Amino acid sequence: MLSRSQSRQEHEEHHELPRQPSLFVVRSSDGAEFGLLPEDFRDVSTLDELKYNLLSPLLSIPPECLILMNEEGSPLNRDEAVQHLALLANTPASSAVLTPRHDAVTEEAVLTEPPLNPEDPLHSHLSLSLHNLQTLHALISAIQLQHASLALALSNLHRVNTGTASSFSLFLESAQPAMERYEALLTGWEESMDAVGKVAIVAGLLMRHASSGSSGHAREGSTSSVPQPEKQRYLGDYVSRDKMLAVRDGCAKVLAELKLRSEALQATLDGVVTGTEHRDRIRFLVERKNAMTRYLLNEMQKISTLQSDIATMPSELGALDHDLRTRTDNFKHLARLEGLIPAYVATVAEVVRRREYARLLSGQSEKLSSTFSPLSSRERERRVRYRQDYSGKLPWEVRGLGNATDERIPEMALDVMGRDEGLPELEKDALDKLANSFRDLDDALAGTPNPDNPIRKARALLTTLISNIESLSQDFEQISLNQPPPRPPSADFARIAELEAQLRQLEETNDSLSRELQTERSAREEEVAQLDSRASAAENARTALQRRIDSLERDKSSIEQSHQGVVSRSEDLERRLTAESRRSETLERDLASARAAEGELKKQWTAFDQSHTRLQGELGTLRLELDRARLTIAEQEAKLVAAEESQRELTLAIAEKDRLQRRRRVRRRRSRSWRTRGGMGVSWRKRSTA
């Protein structure tokens, strides 16, 4: 953690050393500081070398347990950071790197206050007071470092948790309905299996296959010419119970595994969110240093454990999402089993409805034809009367008014297209039989309270379809009684074009205004968010500063009380303590100015941290979308390669065919020219002989 520490520089100005370190490593578990010199970075160029060769022996912490962070809480995970640290080691300003330690601090390592003996002489009391003052400063410095390290760890945990929580919530929104659907399929597969075994198939649906010889019902055909009665078939004959049981078991295992993994991820995420709600307890532990140290160490260990759990959550979430999309293919067989009876009912009803529609349409066309037939007879009489009275009396002929007696008269011919579609011979009695069978099956299931039984759902569907078929005749009668709709008025295409141009212009204006409004709104929202973040950061900094001032005032009051006790014993000690108090006030003013600068920097860091957290969440979401897009691209590329290969083979085949055709045309031309030359020779010899 890189920070300017003016108080440390002023404190060390009184102890001049030959070589003063400018870079410090702070072990945040106990607040211990270790100085680093430029010579320490002589053989260090990577982070692994920094951990194994320098920091692990110096801090007595295993290399794999080291977590390096700067003052802003950003982890040091790139090798370029080593060069930056080496550069800081050569600068006069002091710096610090916080390294959280995972193991606990023993009680012997905690600073303790020496006991006060009131019987000591005067000079002993003076040295003891000075020692107590130094001890208090050391304790305050250690507590502040531990508090800063805990705040950094918590901010890092919050930043990592935000993106993971958003990704997990998006996954649950898409995965929860699918899991509920799969669980419903597993629950109702037994009823669906029993139901398809009880639904009989109408013989008319199988008659077509039986006549062509391609149906499975003709596999046991005998050599005799006498037709045998066919065995009654059920929908369950086409579904293997053993295979569906195996599919059900596999799907149940996959669904149980997916639910367990999803619940485990949810429990881990809930533990992280629950752990973050206890951060406010830190302020109640300022009174005792030992209790604060134990609590901070426990929280650091919890954060380390939770961060380790969060590190594995993205991979587990991706694997869970992949399994949910790839290992649930067998559920389509259960869905097909559940929809088998409704599909059968709808198919039978559709055949009956189409035949009824064709019958009604044919009857309506015959009725209309018979209605307009008197018009044709009257027109024929009028034309005969014209030919007898007026035809042929003009000195010219009028085109179209012929005198032929077999002249065709315009007639209206209504015909139904596509009447014969080869549909099975099924009528309404087939639906009645099917409804009766469903009613008997439903009565047999009277003791079952489940309203989602496949038989009951299929019966309700069949009732609806029968009512729709019965309403066809009413629709035809209603159409025949109603007046024809009025003809639409002629359209003014010029006016329509003008209105379309005005509409396009208005749409373009609306789009431009919408874009401007959206841009202005985004700018306003961004400005409001920045002001809110600045106000929050300022309030947090003010609160922290007020807490530090209160702590310093309490320390100051305790020190003044001890000073007053010492002053009552000796005037000499009073002068020294007064001088020490003045010096302490000077240091506090310097510290206040340093804290003000630090508060300003922390405001900027808070704004950057919030922006970084939001970008991390968006990055997690975009990564999931990128993975899905990459999978889709890979599949499309494989299809494209296959298509290109087939296109290449087709091109070669076409080229070879064109080459053969050209060769054949050349041969035909040569043969044709040879025959022509041979025929000319024969004719010349005949002339010479004559």
Kindly indicate the confidence band of residue 564, based on its pLDDT and cuts at 50, 70 and 90: low
User: Mean pLDDT throughout 260-287?
Assistant: 69
Is residue 558's pLDDT more than 60? yes
pLDDT of 635 over the 80 cut: yes
Beta bridge partners of 36: 23
Instruction: Say if residues 181 and 258 touch (Cβ distance below 8 Å).
Output: no
Taking a C-beta distance cutoff of 8 angstroms, is the pair 459, 439 a contact?
Answer: yes
Please report which confidence band the pLDDT of residue 282 belongs to, taking 50, 70 and 90 as the band edges: low
- What percent of the chain has a predicted confidence (pLDDT) above 90? 2
Mean pLDDT confidence for 43-47 = 85
Average pLDDT over residues 652-662: 89
Which pLDDT score is estimated for 257? 92
Whole-number pLDDT of residue 253: 92
pLDDT tops 60 at residue 519: yes
**So what's the pLDDT on residue 378?**
85
| Contact assessment for residue 171 and residue 321, using Cβ atoms and an 8 Å cutoff | yes
Structure tokens at 23: 């870079």
CA atoms of 116 and 127, how far apart (whole Å): 11
The residues near 531 (Cβ < 8 Å, ≥ 6 apart) are: none
Mean pLDDT value across residues 657-685: 72
Q: Is the pLDDT at 169 greater than 50, yes or no?
A: yes
Query: pLDDT tens digits, residue range 345-384?
Result: 889 898 888 888 888 888 888 887 787 778 888 888 888 8
Condensed to tens digits (0 to 9), the pLDDT of residues 188-206 reads 888 888 888 888 888 777 7
More confident residue, 69 or 667: 667
88-146 pLDDT per residue, tens: 777 754 444 444 444 434 434 334 444 444 444 455 556 777 777 888 888 888 777 87
**pLDDT band at residue 157 using 50, 70 and 90 as cut-offs:** confident
Helices (H) and strands (E) in the chain, counts: 14, 3
Q: Using alpha carbons only, what angle is made at residue 576 by residues 575 and 578, rounded to the nearest 5 degrees?
A: 65
pLDDT at 14: 41
Span of 523-527, 550-554, 674-678 with lowest mean pLDDT: 674-678
Measured distance CA(337)–CA(351) in Å, rounded:
22
Q: For residue 35, what are the β-bridge partners?
A: 24
Sequence-ordered list of residues with C-beta below 8 angstroms from that of 110, at least 6 positions apart, any chain: 30, 289, 290, 293
Query: SS3 for 3?
Result: coil
Q: Please answer whether residues 416 and 367 qualify as being in contact, where contact means their C-beta atoms are separated by less than 8 angstroms.
A: no
pLDDT score of 310: 79
In one letter, which amino acid is 650?
L
Instruction: List the single range of 31-35, 248-252, 276-280, 539-543 with lowest mean pLDDT.
Output: 276-280
Contacts with 567 (C-beta within 8 Å, 6 or more apart), sequence order:
573, 574, 577, 578
Sheet containing strand 95-99, edge to edge, reads 32-36, 23-27, 95-99
- Taking alpha carbons only, the member of 476, 466, 464 closest to residue 358 is 476
| Per-residue pLDDT at 13 exceeds 50 | no
pLDDT of the residue at 681: 41
To the nearest whole number, what is the mean pLDDT of the chain?
75
Task: Report, as an integer, the average pLDDT of 388-400.
Answer: 76
Residue 482, SS3 per DSSP: coil
3-state secondary structure of 611: helix
Task: Give the separation between CA 95 and CA 34, rounded to whole angstroms.
Answer: 11
Q: How confident is the model over 432-489, as pLDDT tens digits?
A: 898 898 888 888 877 666 777 888 888 888 899 989 888 888 887 777 655 555 555 5
Q: Between these two residues, 282 and 27, which has the higher pLDDT value? A: 27
Token pair for residue 200? 């009989």
Closest of 191, 186, 316 to residue 255, by C-alpha: 186
What is the model's pLDDT at position 403?
65
Beta-carbon count within 10 A of 163 CB: 21
pLDDT tops 60 at residue 219: no
Check residues 539 and 321 and name the one with the higher pLDDT: 321
64-78 pLDDT, tens per residue?
A: 888 887 766 677 878
The token pair that represents 72 in the structure block:
């802003």
544 CA to centre of own chain: 40
Specify whether the CB–CB gap between 76 and 47 falls below 8 A.
yes
The answer to which of 425-439, 554-568, 612-626 has the lowest mean pLDDT is 554-568
When pLDDT is averaged across residues 556-583 and rounded to a whole number, the result is: 69
